[in-house]
Structure 1
């Protein structure tokens, strides 16, 4: 979308708050297009192909990974942004980067790494995503990280504890941590990424859950948000009710559910923008969140989320696997803490030359950057036990 076609309250690349390390503009790309390209070419982005959503990497070739999830979020985000005249390139950049700091083994890995780091500041995957793009990527001779714009970094940092916000503010006064201290909102593009993330994972967790056999279409009849689209698809295409049509029926129901949620967000957000009439991006930051579901769609989405939590995320088979994944992460942390020389030379040197805080953070950075299969192999190398994989 041309800069002139953007809404006044959208993020215009020519008005960006810039990068921490100033750079001359690119001749053929906007600032947010450069951010997107740097993210796509980063090592952390490539690792997402072997990082878990719900099902661990060894459990099947067709289940979502962090990479495919990020691509789906970006697609949804761009579609909505176009209708709202927001900056599609910024939305895409944030969507593609929002999970760069996720650990192996999904939320199980994140939770146990946070437990391991309790005496050293804890672990937040959103903060780790920012740490990846600000410090851990090693691609440029002049600086650590990939030097993204303020607006992309602001969107990546979806959540942040007050303690960590204060630390960020001390290092970067007026930077991405300040809004958490002031209770302000991020840009509309960042708000949109948060909602696109929710829409995407609810839909693809239904798909992966049914594909895995852990949940069924019969169970989903108890979820109004999904079942009404299933019923409509079956009424329009009766042959899909047969066993041979179930795969197509599931896909059609999910497609319709996604479309209605996208249209709902567009309509609800337009109404909120009309009511609050923000003049520019700074005005947006002082208002309530404006990118939103309608109240009815929000309530229905919550019912779906509770169903997935109960029937899929807490399914005994998923819990059994994630318990083993938690053990892998916990034992890796303990081993590397005791002997950092088990890590590659650069990480070992960083851990050995610093204090206890630096050692623990170096270990956490190394583990967080692992893919599922690398973490499983490392654990087997160091313990002689295979807990995951074939």
Structure 2
């Protein structure tokens, strides 16, 4: 393996774990994080959590697990090219969606609305709760006992939560910082006002690359759009034209795959080229310099970022808000809202959740209920709805 750059994260210089562990003779600290995440219950549950299309709509659409695996592959490729720590980039990529609810973003919106009186719901914060508190597999402690660098990446891969003056930053400027961060056990201050490592930034841009490409693929499979609809969409249209011109006789399924893989390749190459220049121009010489740089250093070039914004607008209008998608979205939001209301009204929760819920009330009970619902797979949420209301929603 190539030597990493001076500004890469160094597993031997990690700020450590909450609970001490002996050194491994075969794995770095970030490799151990990656392995712990892959073997977690929360990671396995991703296979039955919605990405965009619910499972009843077809077996070949992405779910949270397949999306996560695609993100991790792209993240490793970018990290390798930039001479970063591939294992940390992969660990952050593999864990970035562990806090997501059933039914994709619809479930998250519904749970956030239900939790607004109690501090709201944020999937990055929830992912931290999962890996530090809610996973309960180890004999000596709760959580996965990950390194500080992985925890930082989970929380801040999209950027700081506050600016240098402590004011909510970015997407948190409107709603404020989610409550409960101060109750999450971490080995050291996560420094909400600094940017995360380059490896975490790589995971964030890999997420964008993966879902742009696979949402096109899934939308084509669902028949919501055709390849011709991308004419004039800058990030995709020229690639569609190339493929149509070079392979006019192949079937649409092959054309779609060719478009998808070319989009991923060009986006990855753009990120590598632009980020390498940005890192060099910034003068950073260590991972700490990266955190203090005051800006994201791993990103699309300005031209591709503008094109990507146009593609997202197209997908939002033609796919994410298509009535075929919105019918199950509205019903799944209602499922989450009904479950939350029922559990808050003292409907019993199974197992350890019921025991914890019976001993709590008010905001404390609400957070237990949110933890329980957020951990559900789509099928389990529907089973609970059937148990509590003797009804199973029809998403068709």
TM-score (norm 2): 0.92
2:15–2:147 contact (8 Å) kept in structure 1: yes
Partner residue, 1:168: 182
Q: Alpha carbons of 1:166 and 1:57: their partners in 2 closer, same or farther (altered >3 Å)?
A: closer
* Deviation digits for residues 116-147 of structure 1 (CA, Å, limit 9, x no counterpart): 11111110011001100000001112111000
1:35–1:93 contact (8 Å) kept in structure 2: yes
Partner residue, 2:325: 318
Find the partner of 1:329 among 330, 336, 341: 336
| CA deviation after TM superposition for structure 1 residue 168, in Å | 2.8
Q: Alpha carbons of 1:207 and 1:114: their partners in 2 closer, same or farther (altered >3 Å)?
A: same
| CA deviation after TM superposition for structure 1 residue 389, in Å | 5.7
Matched length: 379
Q: Where do 5+ consecutive residues of structure 1 fail to align?
A: none
Find the partner of 1:270 among 270, 273, 276: 276
Partner residue, 1:214: 224
Greater share of helix: 1
Partner residue, 1:101: 99
Find the partner of 1:372 among 371, 378, 383: 378
Find the partner of 1:290 among 281, 292, 297: 297
Q: Does 1:247 align with 2:253?
A: yes
Instruction: Give me the whole-angstrom Cα distance separating, in 1, the residues matched to 2:178 and 2:16.
Output: 22
1:168–1:175 contact (8 Å) kept in structure 2: no
* Deviation digits for residues 52-86 of structure 1 (CA, Å, limit 9, x no counterpart): 01001222100000000000000000011111000
Partner residue, 2:118: 120
Instruction: Give me the whole-angstrom Cα distance separating, in 2, the residues matched to 1:337 and 1:166.
Output: 19
SS at match of 2:75: helix
* Deviation digits for residues 128-187 of structure 1 (CA, Å, limit 9, x no counterpart): 0110000000111211100000111111113555534784389659522x2x2x3x2100
Q: Which moved more, 1:129-138 or 1:380-389?
A: 380-389
TM-score (norm 1): 0.94
2:52–2:320 contact (8 Å) kept in structure 1: yes
SS at match of 2:231: helix
2:68–2:93 contact (8 Å) kept in structure 1: yes
Name segments (4+ residues, structure 1) moved above 3 Å: 158-167, 169-174
* 1:61-140 mapped onto 2 (5 Å cutoff): 61-140=59-138
